[in-house]
C-alpha cells in the first residue's frame, strides 16, 4: 500500500475545467473513463420501450400490475437518461402523490421554518456537490432550488426536519426533474426507501448496520471484515451510494432503489466488500483495521470495470423474507439481552 496521501475528493483543476456528461467538473465522482451507457440501436430501442411504458399513468399501472418482472428486468438494464426523471417518479409513486397534493409544495414553502434548521440547511447547500455545475455556484439556481426542497421537507415532516445526508439526495433528484417533482420524489425516498434513516437517534441506520453484517456473513466469508460496519457504511446507506460511486453507477443503483428498495443497498454493499477483498493477496494487505478502512474509502477502480460491481450485486439474492428474518433475529437477541 503506498503512502500516497492525496485526498481525491478535493482536487479540482480550475484551469482545465471540463464538464463530464453528468455535469461534474471535478471531485472524485468525475467520470474520466467511458461509461457503459448504451447507445446506438439497442439504446434507442430501450428508450422507446421506456417512453411507451411511462407515457401515461394508466399504461404504467398496467405494466406494474401485469408485467412487474419485465419492469424489474428493464430497471436492471438501466433506465435511459431521457426518461429517468419521469420513470423515477412513476416507480416511487411520487407522481400520484403530487397529483393528490396540488399546491401543497408552495404552501409548505410559505410556512415558518425552524431557524436553526434553516441555518443548517443554508450551511450545506453549497457543500452537497461542490463540483457539479448545477450546485457549485453560491446562490445559483441549483443551490436555491435545493434549499426550497429541504426547507419544504423540514416543514412537511418536522419530526425529521433536516439531516445532512439529505442534501446530496435532494441534489441528485434535482438533476433529473423540476423542483416540485423532485420534492415529492424526495418525500418518497425519505419515507419509503430510506425510511427512518434520517430520524433523530439514527436507530434505523444502526439496525441496518447489523442486518448488513448478518447478510454479509451469508453471502461473503465473514473473516474478510475486521471492523464494525458502522465505521464505513453510514455514508453508503444514508445517501444510497450517491456520494460513493462513479456517477454512472450511482444512477444505475438508484434505478434499482426505486424497485428493490433497501435490498439493492445491501446488495451493492456486500458486492463492494466481496470485490474489494477478493483475492488472497488483497486480503493480506488489508489485515489491519486502518488498511481495511483505507481500501473501502478509495475503492479500487477495477471493481467498476465492465460493470463488475453491479453485476456482482445483481447476482446476490436477498428477498424481503430474508430481511424480515434478520430484523426479527436482531429484535430477539435484543430482548434476550434486555
Partner 1 sequence: MDEVHTTKVVLLGRTGSGKTSLIVRYISSVFSENVKPTIGAAFSKKTVQLIHGEERKQVVLAIWDTAGDERYESMAPLYYRNSSAAIICFDLADRQSYNKVDFWVKELVEKVEQNCKLYICGTKTDLLAEYGGPLKRAVGPTEVMAYAKKLNAKFVETSSKSNYGIDDLFKLVAADFAGFTLCEAPPIEDSLRLQEPNQTDVNEKSSCCF
C-alpha pair distances (Å), 209 with each of 7, 15, 206, 234:
26, 42, 5, 8
C-alpha pair distances (Å), 257 with each of 92, 143, 321:
9, 25, 17
Stretch that binds partner 1, among 54-62, 77-85, 185-193, 237-245 (CB under 8 A): 237-245
Q: What's 24's DSSP letter?
A: B
- d(C-alpha 323, C-alpha 113), whole Å: 37
70 binds partner 1 (CB under 8 A): no
4 binds partner 1 (CB under 8 A): yes
230 binds partner 1 (CB under 8 A): yes
Residue 89, Cα to own-chain centre: how many angstroms?
A: 15
Stretch that binds partner 1, among 89-97, 123-131, 214-222, 265-273 (CB under 8 A): 123-131
Residue 132 phi, psi (nearest 5): -100, 135
Nearer to partner 1, 234 or 314 (CB): 234
Stretch that binds partner 1, among 32-40, 149-157, 194-202, 318-326 (CB under 8 A): 194-202
What's the half-sphere exposure (Cβ side, CA atoms, 13 Å) at 82? 13
Q: Which of 256, 259, 258 is nearest to 313 (CA)?
A: 256
**Residue ranges in 162-307 assigned as alpha helix (H):** 166-174, 179-188, 203-219, 233-238, 247-260, 262-276, 280-285, 289-297
333 binds partner 1 (CB under 8 A): no
210 binds partner 1 (CB under 8 A): no
* Least spacing, CB of residue 98 vs partner 1, in Å: 27
* Least spacing, CB of residue 275 vs partner 1, in Å: 17
Nearer to partner 1, 14 or 110 (CB): 14
* Least spacing, CB of residue 200 vs partner 1, in Å: 6
Stretch that binds partner 1, among 117-125, 188-196, 216-224, 255-263 (CB under 8 A): 117-125
C-alpha pair distances (Å), 308 with each of 41, 249, 275, 315, 316:
24, 11, 8, 11, 13
3 state SS of 132: strand
330 binds partner 1 (CB under 8 A): no
Total residues binding partner 1 (CB under 8 A): 47
Stretch that binds partner 1, among 188-196, 251-259, 287-295, 300-308 (CB under 8 A): 287-295
167 binds partner 1 (CB under 8 A): yes
Contact indicator for 19, 133 with CB cutoff of 8 Å: yes
Query: Quick one: cell of 186?
Result: 424526495
* Least spacing, CB of residue 286 vs partner 1, in Å: 11
- Candidates 76, 297, 314, 322: give the one binding partner 1 (CB under 8 A): 297
261 binds partner 1 (CB under 8 A): no
Stretch that binds partner 1, among 83-91, 98-106, 159-167, 305-313 (CB under 8 A): 159-167
Give, as ranges, the residues between 131 and 150 that touch partner 1 (CB under 8 A). Answer: 136
326's enclosing H/E stretch is helix 320-337
- d(C-alpha 326, C-alpha 236), whole Å: 20
Residues near partner 1 (CB under 8 A) are 1-7, 9-12, 120, 123-124, 126-128, 130, 136, 163-165, 167-168, 198, 200-203, 206, 228, 230-235, 238-239, 243, 290, 293-298
Amino acid at each position: 500500500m503506498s503512502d500516497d496521501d492525496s485526498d481525491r475528493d478535493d482536487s479540482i483543476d480550475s484551469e482545465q475545467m471540463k464538464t463530464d456528461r453528468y455535469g461534474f467538473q471535478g471531485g472524485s465522482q468525475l467520470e474520466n473513463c467511458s461509461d457503459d451507457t448504451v447507445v446506438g440501436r439497442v439504446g434507442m430501442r430501450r428508450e422507446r420501450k421506456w417512453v411507451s411504458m411511462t407515457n401515461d399513468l394508466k399504461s404504467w399501472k398496467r405494466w406494474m400490475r401485469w408485467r412487474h418482472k419485465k419492469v424489474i428486468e428493464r430497471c436492471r438494464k438501466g433506465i435511459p437518461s431521457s426518461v429517468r426523471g419521469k420513470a423515477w417518479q412513476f416507480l416511487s409513486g411520487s407522481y400520484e402523490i403530487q397529483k393528490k397534493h396540488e399546491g401543497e409544495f408552495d404552501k409548505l414553502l410559505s410556512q415558518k421554518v425552524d431557524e436553526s434548521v434553516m441555518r443548517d440547511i443554508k450551511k450545506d447547500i453549497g457543500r452537497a456537490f461542490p463540483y457539479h455545475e448545477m450546485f457549485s455556484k453560491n446562490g445559483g439556481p441549483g443551490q436555491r432550488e435545493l434549499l426550497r426542497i429541504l426547507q419544504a421537507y423540514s416543514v412537511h415532516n418536522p419530526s425529521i426536519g433536516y439531516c445532512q445526508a439529505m442534501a446530496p439526495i435532494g441534489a441528485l433528484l434535482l438533476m433529473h426533474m423540476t423542483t416540485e417533482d423532485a420534492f415529492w420524489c424526495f418525500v418518497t425516498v425519505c419515507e419509503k426507501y430510506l425510511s427512518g434513516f434520517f430520524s433523530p437517534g439514527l436507530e434505523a441506520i444502526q439496525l441496518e448496520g447489523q442486518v448488513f453484517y448478518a447478510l454479509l456473513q451469508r453471502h461473503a466469508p465473514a473473516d474478510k471484515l475486521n471492523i464494525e460496519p458502522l465505521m464505513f457504511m453510514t455514508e453508503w446507506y444514508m445517501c444510497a451510494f450517491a456520494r460513493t460511486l462513479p456517477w454512472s453507477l450511482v444512477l444505475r443503483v438508484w434505478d434499482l432503489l426505486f424497485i428493490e428498495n433497501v435490498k439493492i443497498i445491501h446488495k451493492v454493499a456486500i458486492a463492494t466488500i466481496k470485490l474489494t477483498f477478493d483475492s488472497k493477496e488483497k486480503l493480506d494487505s488489508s489485515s489491519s483495521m486502518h488498511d481495511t478502512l483505507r481500501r473501502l474509502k478509495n475503492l479500487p477502480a477495477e471493481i467498476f470495470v465492465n460493470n463488475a460491481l453491479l453485476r456482482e450485486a445483481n447476482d446476490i439474492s436477498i428477498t424481503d423474507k430474508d430481511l424480515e428474518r434478520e430484523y426479527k433475529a436482531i429484535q430477539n437477541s435484543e430482548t434476550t439481552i434486555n
